[in-house]
Amino acid sequence: MNLSKLNDKWDALKEDELHALQIRQLRWFLKSRVLPFSAFYRARFEEAGVSPDDIRSIEDLRYVPFTQKEDLLPSDDHPKRSREFVLIPEQAALKRQASTVMSALRHGPAAAKKLLEEEFRPIMMTSTTGRSTVPVPFLYTAHDIENLRRTGRRMMEVCESDPSWKHANLFPFAPHLAFWQAHYAGTGWDTFCVSTGGGKVLGTAGNVGLIDRIDADVLIGMPTFIYHILQQAVSEDRYWANLKRIVLGGEKVPDGLRRKLRGLAAELGSGNVEIMATYGFTEAKMAWPECPSNALGSPTGYHISPDLGIVEIIDPETGDILPPGHAGEVVFTAIDSRGSVVLRYRTGDQIDGGLVYEACPGCGRTCPRLLGTISRVSDKRELALDKLKGTLVDFNALERVLDDLDGVGAWQIELRKRNDDPFDADEVIIHLAATGTASSRDLETAVRRHFRAVTEMRPNRIDFHSNEEIREMQGVGRVLKEERVRDNRPTAGELAAEDSTESEPMEELTR
Ligand SMILES: [Zn+2]
């Protein structure tokens, strides 16, 4: 009952009513689905001495221990750790539940059994990506696929698409949330949506040709790849006046990059294209969109589906829940998932505008929205800029400088060791393609000045390249995700092994 009201009015409830319904749904979810069937959380709750009935308000979520990324990783004691997060129904426990009895009475035992199988049997999987850790699988049941279709449909509604439009999904074919969320957005909205598989499948030319042939209204994909597609289309004098929306996922989208994409779309004949970002992650099993904001001039934030999960913003140091509008770390709790389920999952993503509940200035929806810029904690890297000391460099800020700077097209930050000596200092080289009319010298001065403003790190060199060269460096058409930061520093171990195999830069593909 609570859930159907939440589902129907997901974007129209006031904060108090929303929280009350969310907490009731969470308590039901914990009692009848998570604690009976998830080995990990049963142990966690016992250990913490918490019961679902202790959670009477959003503030009471603090009694539930956080789930960390490390909790999901296999260890020697738990080689199949991620399985402990999967709801695996225990027949005896299910039979005791009133809902099962009711279902059997209403539909007959055979039909009731089938419904339970649909609810609990995993039928699809996506996984996290990452260079430093093993991929963590996340399982979906038919129930979860229905929710993926639901969040996909909402994505189309919030982005103000139209079922009669033609959508091109340019995310790479991969077991990653981004691709499947976009795919199910198409089926959920009952609209035309062609998936190109991204650059690795059809190449830049193949993608440009296909978009041209279908005369797409909407492009959905990763910002770096879409930038290359638009840039290539401009260089071929294509005319894409039908283009209305560009929906981005899988990477951060700084304002400067939006401006550059909008500029390219205008050159293609689409002067008022709406650029919208989405935010999602493997563990949430869904993504949240922005609504159109050209008329407002600034992005409207990620519109959360509050019937499927609870988002909190916490102080990353103390773990305290922060009030609305405060910058902090995004924490996610599933309240209607089956298959893999996480509670109070710490994403490691920091959002500078926090979570807000007032009506969206763009669309008027009152669903919670995440506002501002998202940065990942792990984007801070330790560089040995001289041989004596390490310096912590915020790559979020560096990337933003390059994306925001007019005149800078596609780029790559390359990390090297001086003289390729693993024991020498680190070097930072900026590779970029210039756009516009500024001279290389002026552009170099501008890049250096902006870098100086955000970091004590000085680039050792700034190299200018053609668009084709940058495309080659980033691995467009070769790798699943274009590489904007390339670490070419040899390690002592690697030097010994001389391993030259190309590795996939798949980090945060689904982010
Ligand atoms: Zn809105």
- pLDDT tens for 447-504 read 999 988 888 788 999 999 999 999 999 999 888 888 999 999 886 555 444 433 333 3
Are 244 and 327 in the same domain?
yes
What's the domain count of the chain?
A: 2
Q: Which residues, other chains included, contact 83 with Cβ-Cβ below 8 Å and sequence gap of 6+?
A: none
Single-letter code of the amino acid located at 155:
M
How many A from CA of 5 to the centre of ligand 1? 21
Rounded Cα distance, 248 and 259, in Å: 13
Of 308-312, 317-321, 466-470, 481-485, least confident by mean pLDDT is 481-485
Q: Which of 341, 371, 401 represents a domain boundary (last residue)?
A: 371
Q: How far is 245 from 276, CA to CA, in rounded Å?
A: 8
The predicted structure's pLDDT at residue 103:
80
Task: Report the half-sphere exposure of 428 (CA within 13 A, side-chain side).
Answer: 22
Tell me the CATH number at 400.
3.30.300.30
Instruction: Identify whether residues 148 and 293 lie together within a single domain.
Output: yes
- Given pLDDT bands bounded at 50, 70 and 90, which one contains residue 237? very high
Same domain, 390 and 349: no
Read off the pLDDT band of 1 (50, 70, 90). low
181 within domain boundaries: yes
Cα of 371 to ligand 1 centre, how many Å?
Answer: 11
How far is the centre of ligand 1, averaged over its atoms, from the C-alpha of 425 (Å)?
Answer: 47
Domain extent for 170: 140-371
Q: Are residues 382 and 348 in the same domain?
A: no
Task: Give distance in angstroms: CA of 471 to centre of ligand 1.
Answer: 34
Question: Residues 96-101: contacts with CB within 8 Å, 24+ apart?
Answer: 97/32, 99/32
User: Looking at residues 196-208, what average pLDDT do you find?
Assistant: 95
Q: Tell me the pTM.
A: 0.90
**Do 163 and 295 sit in the same domain of this protein?**
yes
Q: Which of 335, 351, 371 is the last residue of a domain?
A: 371
Residue 313 and residue 400 in one domain: no
**pLDDT (tens digit per residue) in 2-51:** 688 899 999 999 999 999 999 999 999 999 999 999 999 999 999 999 99
Q: Are 334 and 341 in contact (CB under 8 A)?
A: yes
How far does the centroid of ligand 1 lie from the alpha carbon of residue 279, in Å? 14
- Residue 272 CA to ligand 1 center (angstroms) comes to 18
Report helix angle 395-404 to 255-267, nearest 10. 30
Range scoring the smallest mean pLDDT among 229-233, 358-362, 485-489, 500-504: 500-504
CATH code, domain carrying 327: 3.40.50.12780
Is there a domain that residue 241 lies in?
A: yes
Residue 394 has a pLDDT of 84
120: in domain: no
Around Cβ 93, how many Cβ atoms within 10 Å? Answer: 13
Q: Is 275 a domain residue?
A: yes
Tokens of 380: 């801070």
pLDDT at 334 over 60: yes
User: Based on C-alpha coordinates, what's the Rg of the chain?
Assistant: 24
Distance CA 326, CA 315 (A): 9
- Residue 9 CA to ligand 1 centre (angstroms): 15
C-alpha dist (Å) from residue 130 to 70, 249, 282, 356, 508: 13, 17, 12, 30, 6
pLDDT for position 497? 45
In a domain, 71, yes or no: no
- Specify the pLDDT at position 132: 62
112 lies in some domain = no
**DSSP assignments along 22-82, one per residue:** HHHHHHHHIIIIIHHH-HHHHHHHHHHT--GGG--SGGGGGGSPPB-GGGGS--SS-TTGG
Let me know if residue 97 belongs to a domain: no
| Token pair in block for residue 488 | 């070419």
- Provide mean pLDDT across the span 190-215: 96
Q: What angle do CA 49, 54, 57 make, to 5 degrees?
A: 140
Checking if the pLDDT of 507 tops 70, the result is no
**Could you tell me the sign of the dihedral formed by the alpha carbons of 48, 52, 57, 58, in that order?**
positive
Same structural domain for residues 449 and 316?
no
Judge whether residue 157 has pLDDT over 80. yes
Residues 38-88 have pLDDT tens digits of 999 999 999 999 999 999 999 999 999 999 999 999 888 888 888 999 999
Verify that 454 and 410 share a domain, yes or no. yes
Please tell me the predicted confidence (pLDDT) of residue 420.
Answer: 86
Q: What is the pLDDT of residue 437?
A: 84
Query: 494 C-alpha vs ligand 1 centroid, how far in Å?
Result: 49
Query: Do 193 and 258 share a domain, yes or no?
Result: yes
pLDDT-above-70 percentage for the chain: 94
- In this structure, the answer to whether residues 277 and 164 fall within a common structural domain is yes
Going from the Cα of 349 to the center of ligand 1, the distance in angstroms, rounded, reads: 22
Is 455 in the same domain as 325?
Answer: no
Q: Residue 363 Cα, ligand 1 centroid: separation in angstroms?
A: 4
Last residue of some domain: 371, 389, 423? Answer: 371
Which residues, 6+ apart, have CB-to-CB distance to 375 below 8 Å? 252, 349, 350, 352, 394, 396
43 domain residue, yes or no:
no
Domain co-membership, 168 together with 206 = yes
Assess contact for 334 and 344: CB atoms under 8 A: no
Name the pairing type of β-strands 374-376 and 345-351: antiparallel
